[in-house]
Structure 1
Amino acid sequence: MPQPNTVQLNSIAASLLEYRERLLSLAKRNLNPILLRRVTPEDVVQDTLSSACQKIDFLENHPEVPVYFKLRTILFQTISALERKHLQSQKRDAYKELAVSDQNEATTAKLDWNMFADSVTGPLTRIARIDRYELLKKALESLPENDRQILELRHFDNMTNSDCAEVLHITAKNASIRYVRALERLQKQLLELTEFRS
């Protein structure tokens, strides 16, 4: 594999610096609380930079996809790799380090889909969530890329319309319009898939 040149490395570093706080916030929200006993969000962002330097083709291909989304993808891959390394390792069981008071926090990083479902359909019972979680994923995956991007930024990255506009290189007004339309399309798709009503 060819090594990245100085210009490419500088470009990656600039992008990571530009989006560092957003990536850091994303890492904080998505790291398993058990894993937080071994690695920090800063570690995740640093590992994301290292991985990005080895994925030049991924970063440079498909220029229509915002750089933030590419870095976001690498960050989630980094978290998954860290979970495999620390939480599935047979050498030392990280779960044994979990305090009793922390047990309810262990699923915190997994609740974004549930909160998204509630925001779209109203409060759901736990049993309903299990089924509708999958329907929601299916509906979201069926949407055009632009719709998925704005919904993910708003609901999974907790960004404002202004933040979304900056990442997507559009105006705040257009970000707002895109979000409303994407939400309408998502709700329509859910209704087509099932009797998905609040």
Structure 2
Amino acid sequence: MSPPPGQVPELVARIAAGDREAIVELLARYRSRLRRMVALRLDPRLQGRVDASDVIQEGYLDAIRRLDEYTRDPSVPFYIWLRFLVGQRVAECHRRHLTRPGRDVGREVSIYRGAMPGVSSGALAARLLGKLTSPLQAAMRAERKLQLQEALNSMDPIDREVLVLRHYEQMSNGDAAAALGLEKAAASKRYTRALERLQQILGDLPGGVDGDAT
């Protein structure tokens, strides 16, 4: 569970004063949110090879080493800074395990070319479609997933990303804007536009979907 917004500056102030217990407390509060982020962005081909907990732990070690840097200039919310560091560890996993000479793995799996790996259109489609388990449902799901991936790829990349940040990473509009380097009004406008486009896409799929789309 994330700490209440008013508690974060207090914990950061304690960290700046050298309170190491405050570091442990603050990092522990964000672990579940970061697990969702990593699960959405870690390439499916790395399942069984890379543990999300290890990725988060490496990001936490980076954060501890760089805490002085953040406390001197906390220009973004603490979670956005921490998420960025963990996201860089996800990107490093992709480079280490997937990149080959002459091959841009980012172009293959990312739906947003940002500072960290974007959610793949396949992962987002799977989330939107929900869980269909019978043989007939599984066959229908595979077909719909391909159709949905194609439709998602037609969306503006940043619109897709702000949709993921708001809906799946459960960010506020302000945090989503900070993560993307946008003004709050621009982030809000993009989210509204992306949600309308997504609803149109889902409505156009034959047979609709069975997952929770919105």
TM-score when scaled to structure 2? 0.47
TM-score when scaled to structure 1? 0.50
Q: Which has the higher helix share?
A: 1
